Amino acid sequence: KQEVTQIPAALSVPEGENLVLNCSFTDSAIYNLQWFRQDPGKGLTSLLLIQSSQREQTSGRLNASLDKSSGRSTLYIAASQPGDSATYLCAVRDDKIIFGKGTRLHILP
């Protein structure tokens, strides 16, 4: 049974710092992995989608990596800004779609 874990559950970082969010999964037979952002009281916004054959994807200050063999993905955020404060969720697709519980990120001005 696939399990998706995100550590830490919450993170506070001073503005301007680079940071890494972690996502781990137990079964490496996945189709893809997607990172989302959720603002309080809002829906999800897709950030990056990594196919199972890819190692990383980049969008602006965001870079997501995927290591299927170790069951890990990281989301790297460069030069963090207060507007990056949100909950970040990862989700894997195998024969189901399984979400992690998210990391609540707070960027301190």
Partner 1 sequence: DTAVSQTPKYLVTQMGNDKSIKCEQNLGHDTMYWYKQDSKKFLKIMFSYNNKELIINETVPNRFSPKSPDKAHLNLHINSLELGDSAVYFCASSQEPWTSVSEQFFGPGTRLTVL
Binding site for partner 1 (CB under 8 A): 31-32, 34, 36, 42-46, 49, 51-52, 87, 89, 91, 93, 95-97, 99, 101-102
Nearer to partner 1, 17 or 95 (CB): 95
Q: How far is the CB of 9 from partner 1 (least distance, A)?
A: 10
In whole angstroms, what is the distance from residue 24 CA to residue 20 CA?
13
Q: How far is the CB of 12 from partner 1 (least distance, A)?
A: 18
Backbone angles phi, psi at 66, to 5 degrees: -140, 125
Q: How far is the CB of 18 from partner 1 (least distance, A)?
A: 25
Nearer to partner 1, 67 or 95 (CB): 95
Beta carbons of 75 and 62 less than 8 angstroms apart: yes
Nearer to partner 1, 32 or 74 (CB): 32
Q: Which tokens in the block code for residue 50? A: 């990594």
Residue 105, classed as helix, strand or coil, is strand
In whole angstroms, what is the distance from residue 107 CA to residue 22 CA?
17
